[in-house]
Amino acid sequence: MGIAAGDKAFDGSIPQLYERYLVPLIFEPYARDMASRLARRPPGRILEIAAGTGVLTRALALALPPACAVVATDLNPPMIEHAAKVGTARPVEWRQADAMKLPFEDGTFDAVACQFGAMFFPDKAAAFAEARRVLRPGGVFCFSVWDRIEENDFAAVATDVLAELFPRDPPRFMARTPHGYHDKAAIARDVARAGFAARPRIATLAERSRAASPMDAAIAYCQGTPLRNEIEARDPGRLAEATDAMAEAIAVKFGRGAVDGKIQAHVVEVDA
């Protein structure tokens, strides 16, 4: 499945809802893990690409030594602007930048990090080659991608519910893009095509996805991601209905109070 034009549109109210609902639901445990991995070999200068609203940036600012310079970038100005507004424990440099064409000189970073952004790159190998280009010899590229949707409970529920609501043209954003780049052999091939000589180290990590209520999880997916764009493209008046339907499906399966589901991702490390 390819990347649809709207899959990369994180604008309107999406950045605020993404930060409030989706970040604690699925991103925070993996941000802590990636920051811990990079802190074991603390870089002097680190570049983050596809930083979103800054969940990994905040973890890096806490985990890395104060002398480590952190540069955080994202393609979408509304996301990086919201990340800068939320802020970090210490100063970082925020920049709008396209991971496909990074505005940095060759060999200027000791590490490049990317949490759950690679799935959105139209040409993965080309984006990985850009990461390699800006790395110094001996540096590391660390990125994460979601495993298949069947290993991620709430994303699977969202996709199933929307298929029932829109049977003629079901919104497939979650399966197509966030969970569409999970084959480890394909990832290794793209890393090699990018020019990395070393074999990537790929760890598959299961975590728990927790929300205070089924509605919080439903808002996270239906309104805090580009899935909202797909719903509204089919019928702009049915966003609330879709959110309510997902909340009810989660409540039936996981309970009507605080909910807890499985999430699973691959974390990839490769040396330059």
Tell whether the model's pLDDT for residue 3 goes beyond 70: no
Task: Name the token pair of 53.
Answer: 């609203």
Domain ranges for the chain? 5-271
Instruction: Determine the average pLDDT of the residues in 16-44.
Output: 95
- Is the per-residue pLDDT at 8 higher than 90? no
3, 228, 75, 65: which is closest to 83 by C-alpha? 75
pLDDT value at 94 more than 60: yes
pLDDT band at 194 (very low <50, low <70, confident <90, very high): very high
Residues in a beta bridge with 96 = 74
Query: Measured between alpha carbons, how far is residue 132 from residues 68, 92, 114, 123, 162 in Å?
Result: 19, 22, 13, 14, 39
The CATH superfamily of 5-271 is: Vaccinia Virus protein VP39 (3.40.50.150)
**pLDDT above 60: residue 86:** yes
